[in-house]
Amino acid sequence: MNTLCNKAQQAFSALLFTLILTILLSFQTVSAQPDGAKLFKQNCATCHKLDDTRLTGPGLKDVFKRIPDDEWFLKWVKSNTKLTASGDPYAVKISAFDVSTMNEFGFLADDEINAIGTFLKNPPAPVVGPTGPTGPTGEVHVEKGLDTFWTLVIIIIALIIIIAVLRGVKRSLSNVVNEREGKPANPDRNVWEETKVWMGANKSKVALIIIILLSIGSKMAWDAMFDIGVFTGYKPSQPIAFSHKIHAGDNAINCVYCHSTAEKSRHAGIPSTNICMNCHKGISSGATTGTTEIAKIYEAVGWDPKQMAYNMPQKPIKWNKVHNLPDFVYFSHQQHVVVGKQECQTCHGDVPNMTVAEQVSPLTMRWCIDCHRETEVPGMMANADSTLANPYYEDLHKKLAEKYKGQKITVDKMGGIECAKCHY
């Protein structure tokens, strides 16, 4: 987990660096000319990569060393079918080689296509991410919370040792003094016996201390009981170091792109591996972990990146579930997302900034009910605008508005905290 944190931090800084670099570079190339890099990204990148690996189409590394000339490039991109039909030998050759036909880009202006050509002739240096943890603080990183705790323990132990030593010193010194003064030596009592003697002399103080300790103890026990089964901060490591930050944060992918059933079902759903492949067919290496983590997706889904085909055995990914509700609770995502119009972040926290998914809310019944006591249902709001007004609530709203004159009509007022809403 710690390693992951570290990796993610590294990834972040690497990404930040790359971003800044890109931005700086892009500033340099600002001109009236069409932007080849941008056009390539918009039109070509879904099928072609800049290196020599194949995507839907061939990799375009050193493409201009293969094709006849710029003129051919222009014609081919505009309409490869026309070019092939005209009997151009190279076009015929590559059409025969590849079964899938390239799209036609007749809508691109000549200078735009040329700009792409220019871009392809001088492609940016490929970004190579680190392949493993290399940072100096890599594996011995200790979490702060634990740090203070252990320091405290060590200090306490040290203090106890010091006390014991000092006590011994004190006693021998006092014995020396007594001996010199001819008084009898201090009785050879151990700490426990001495404490007993002190306790015998100070009964009221002892009673007070016991009462205070008991009160503190009970309070702690009581609080601890309420935390049984509450796993706020639960942050299990995952079989694939998936980072929500990179996906939902940096790349701003909508939550429901992957968790698509949140709007259709009670389950938000862990995305099936084929959803990952929508993007990762093309993106085979990441900035932070290079190819190691993405390769795990390929392994799971049986994708052979060399042959660009699903020809390997499938191995389902066993994710560790972060948010666990007991079996006797029926929670419906679609109810909250579609009808209640809740943001995912309301319960799941700032996921776009989480490198490792973490349980933010306690997910206790009290937490549910507290929210239901405060939240208005969009379709039930007194001043709901027409887009939110839900005809389903029409009659109920009329009756409740009459009953709770002027008050907010919250979920609980319409039965949202009744047992059988969640338990059946």
**Which residues contribute to the site for another protein (CB under 8 A)?**
228-229, 231, 234, 236, 261, 264-267, 269-275, 300-302, 314-321, 324, 326-328, 330, 332, 334-335, 338-339, 379, 390-396, 399-400, 403, 414-415, 418-421, 423-424
CB contact set of 298 (below 8 Å; sequence gap of 6+)? 280, 284, 304, 305, 312
Q: How far is the CB of 142 from another protein (least distance, A)?
A: 23
Q: How far is the CB of 418 from another protein (least distance, A)?
A: 4
C-beta of 206 vs 396, nearer to another protein:
396
Distance of CA 323 to the CA centre of its chain: 13
CB contact set of 132 (below 8 Å; sequence gap of 6+)? 290, 292
Total residue length of the chain: 424
C-beta of 291 vs 334, nearer to another protein:
334
C-beta of 255 vs 301, nearer to another protein:
301
Greatest Cα-to-Cα distance within the chain, rounded to the nearest angstrom: 125
Provide φ and ψ at 186, rounded to 5°. -55, 140
Which residue matches tokens 């190691």? 292
Q: How far is the CB of 219 from another protein (least distance, A)?
A: 18
DSSP-derived letter for residue 304 is: E
- Report, in angstroms and rounded to the nearest whole number, the Rg of the chain calculated over CA atoms: 34
Q: How far is the CB of 227 from another protein (least distance, A)?
A: 9
> Rounded to the nearest 5 degrees, what angle is found at the Cα of 417, between the Cα atoms of 415 and 423?
110
Q: How far is the CB of 49 from another protein (least distance, A)?
A: 24
Cα separation, 317 vs 339, whole angstroms: 32
C-beta of 49 vs 397, nearer to another protein:
397
Q: How far is the CB of 276 from another protein (least distance, A)?
A: 10
Q: How far is the CB of 47 from another protein (least distance, A)?
A: 22
Cα separation, 336 vs 411, whole angstroms: 11
C-beta of 43 vs 273, nearer to another protein:
273
Cα separation, 31 vs 111, whole angstroms: 14
C-beta of 48 vs 372, nearer to another protein:
372
Of 359, 363, 337, 356, give the one whose Cα is nearest residue 261. Answer: 337
C-beta of 17 vs 404, nearer to another protein:
404
